[in-house]
Amino acid sequence: MRSMKAISHATFVILLLSLSARCYAQEDQLDIAPMEQAERKALYLTIQGFVGDSWNGSDLYPDPCGWTPIQGVSCDLFNGFWYVTVLNIGPIHDNSLSCAQNVELRPQLFELRHLKSLSFFNCFQSQDRFPATIPTGNWEKLAGSLESLEFRSNPGLIGNIPSSVGVLKNLQSLVLLENGVTGEIPPDIGNLTKLKKLVLSGNYFIGRIPDVFGGMNELLIFDLSRNSLSGKLPLSLGSLTSALKLDVSHNHLDGNLPNEFANLKNLTLMDLRNNRFSGGLTLSFQEMNSLEEMVLSNNPLGGDIRILKWENLKNLTILELSNMGLAGEIPESISELKRLRFLGLSDNNLTGNLPSKLETLPCLNALYLSGNNLTGELKFSEGFLGKMGRRFGAWNNPNLCYQVGVMMSTNHVPYGVKPCHKEVNLLASNSKTELLNQDMNETSYFIASMGFSSSATNAFWWTFVEEILMMGLFLILI
C-alpha cells in the first residue's frame, strides 16, 4: 500500500516538472523568437524617417521586439516571428521617439504588413519650413491589418485627406485632431463601415459634410467640430444609431435641423453650437431620451421654446440654449429634469414670469437667464440664490424685479435685477416734511370704493387736504 502511494506521488512530481519545463520552454521561445530581417529593416528605416538618419536602431535596439524594446513600438507573434503591430511616434513619454524637424513618411512604413495602430503626436511642427502631407498611395498594403490611424497636434501636417484612405476597410478609429489639414472631407470615408471613432476636429476642412454615413451603424464618436464646414447636415447622420457623441460645433453649417435625429436613441452628447442653423427646434429632439448634454447656443434657430416636451429628456445634465432667438415663456416642464446641473437661456426673446419651480431642481448649480424680456417678481428663495451665487444671472430683463422685504438686507440680491418696491417722493417745505401725492389713482379707487362717485372724487380729495392743513396750522399756533 505504501509503495502504491510512493509511486503516485512520484508520478505527480514528474508531471508537475514536465508542465513547468513546458512553460519555461514557451517563455524562452517568446524571448528568443526571431524577427524577420525584412521587418526589422523596414522598422528601422521607418523610424529614421521620423527621428533622423543619425538614429542607429541596430546598435541601440538589436532586438526591438524582445529584450531591447523601443518605446512606442509593440509587436505580436505570427507563425513564430515577431511583427510590429503598434507604432506611436511623438513625445508621449520621456523616452518616446521624438520627431526631427524634417519628418519624412517613408514608403517602408507600408511594409509593416501586420501594423494595427499608427499614431503621430506633436510631430509635424512647421507649415512653412517643413510641411508634410498624408501619403496618397500604398494604403492598400495596410488594408487588411490597420485598425487605428491618428494624427494629433501636428500643425505642420497640411494638404487633404487622400481618398485612398477609404481602402482601410478594417479601420475602427480615424482621428485627425488639431492639424493643418485642409480641403473637403472625401466621400470615400463612407467606405469605412467598421469605424467606431471619427474625429476630424480642429482642422481647416471646408465644403459640405458628405452624405455617406448610411453604413456606419457601429460609429460611437462623430466629431467634426472647429472647422469651416458649410451647408446642411446630411440626412444619413440619422443612421448613426450607435452614436454616443455628435459634435459639429464651431462651423458655418446652416439649414433646418433634420428630423432624422429621432433615430439617435443612444446619443448622450449633442453639440451644435456656433453655427447658422434655423427653422426652430425640431420635434425629433424629444425622442432622444438618452441625451445628457444638449448644446445649441449661438444659432439663429428661432421659434417657440414650448414646442418640445422637455420632460421627456430626463437624463439631461446640461441644457445650453443661449442666443438662439427663442420666444415664449420658459416651460415649467423643465423643472422636471431632476439631473439638470446647467441651464443656459440667456440672450433670447423669452417672456412671462420665471417659474419658481426651477428652484426645486436638486442638482442645478448654474442658471443663466439674462438678456430676455422676463417680467414679474423673482420668487426664488434666499437660500437658493445664496447657493447659486454668481452662477445665477438674470440681468437685462427690464421688467423683472425681486421682493424688497425678502432680500434687501442680504448679500444675495441678484445682480442687475431691480427691487419691486414703489417709489415714494419726499419734499421738504419750511423745514417740515410733507407726504404729497403718493398715488392718486389708488386714492381715487379707495374713495370710490367707500361709496363716493367718481365725479365727486376730486372735490372730496381737496376738501380732505384742506382740513388736514387747517388742523396742522391749529397745532402750530397752540
CA 425, CA 196: separation in Å to the nearest integer?
70
Would 195 be classed as within a structural domain? yes
Res 468: pLDDT: 41
CA 321, CA 344: separation in Å to the nearest integer?
6
Would 454 be classed as within a structural domain? yes
| Among 170, 34, 174, 158, residue whose Cα is nearest residue 118 | 174
Would 442 be classed as within a structural domain? yes
Q: Note down the domain range covering 433.
A: 426-477
- HSE at residue 215, side-chain half, CA atoms within 13 A, is 11
Res 164: pLDDT: 97
Would 289 be classed as within a structural domain? no
| Among 160, 168, 204, residue whose Cα is nearest residue 186 | 160
Domains identified in the chain, total number: 2
182, 207, 232 — which closes off a domain? Answer: 207
Question: What are the grid coordinates assigned to 218, written together?
Answer: 457601429
What do you get for the CA distance between the two ends of the chain, in Å?
138
Q: Which amino acid is at 267?
A: L
Q: Determine contact, residues 379/354, Cβ cutoff 8 Å.
A: yes
3-state secondary structure of 72: coil
CA 88, CA 52: separation in Å to the nearest integer?
16
Q: Determine contact, residues 69/61, Cβ cutoff 8 Å.
A: yes
Question: Beta strands of 234-361 (E only): which ranges?
Answer: 245-247, 252-255, 269-271, 276-277, 293-295, 318-320, 327-329, 342-344, 349-352
Task: Centre a 10 Å sphere on the Cβ of residue 417 and count the other Cβ atoms it contains.
Answer: 21
| Among 144, 145, 150, 138, residue whose Cα is nearest residue 109 | 138
- HSE at residue 194, side-chain half, CA atoms within 13 A, is 14
Enter the DSSP assignment of 162.
P
Task: Centre a 10 Å sphere on the Cβ of residue 148 and count the other Cβ atoms it contains.
Answer: 19
Residue with cell 524577420: 36
Residue with cell 450607435: 242
Give, in degrees to the nearest 5, the angle at Cα 240 between 243 and 266: 40
Residues in a beta bridge with 342: 318, 366
192, 207, 222 — which closes off a domain? Answer: 207
Residues 6+ apart with CB under 8 A from 289: 265, 312, 313, 314, 315
Would 15 be classed as within a structural domain? no
Burial group, residue 283, by CB count within 10 angstroms (0-12, 13-18, 19+) = middle
CA 303, CA 301: separation in Å to the nearest integer?
7
Would 388 be classed as within a structural domain? no
Res 453: pLDDT: 37
Q: Which amino acid is at 119?
A: S
Question: What are the grid coordinates assigned to 21, written together?
Answer: 519545463
Would 269 be classed as within a structural domain? no
3-state secondary structure 369-430: CCCCEEEEEECCCHHHHHHHHHHEECCCCCEEEECHHHHCCCCCCCCCCEECCCCCCEEEEC
Residues in a beta bridge with 343: 319, 367
The CATH number assigned to the domain holding 58 equals 3.80.10.10
207, 222, 253 — which closes off a domain? Answer: 207
Would 64 be classed as within a structural domain? yes
Residue-by-residue pLDDT tens, the chain, 478 positions: 444 444 455 444 444 444 444 444 344 444 467 999 999 999 999 999 999 999 998 899 999 999 999 999 999 999 999 999 999 999 888 778 888 888 889 999 999 999 999 999 999 988 878 899 999 999 999 999 999 999 999 999 999 999 999 999 999 999 999 999 999 999 999 999 999 999 999 999 999 999 999 999 999 999 999 999 999 999 999 999 999 999 999 999 999 999 999 999 999 999 999 999 999 999 999 999 999 999 999 999 999 999 999 999 999 999 999 999 999 999 999 999 999 999 999 999 999 999 999 999 999 999 999 999 999 999 999 889 999 999 999 999 999 998 876 444 457 788 999 998 764 444 434 433 333 343 433 333 333 333 333 333 343 333 333 444 444 433 333 3
Residue with cell 521620423: 50
Residues 6+ apart with CB under 8 A from 162: 134, 135, 136, 139, 186
Res 434: pLDDT: 39
Res 130: pLDDT: 87
Predicted TM-score (pTM) of the model is: 0.81
Longest dimension (CA), the chain: 139
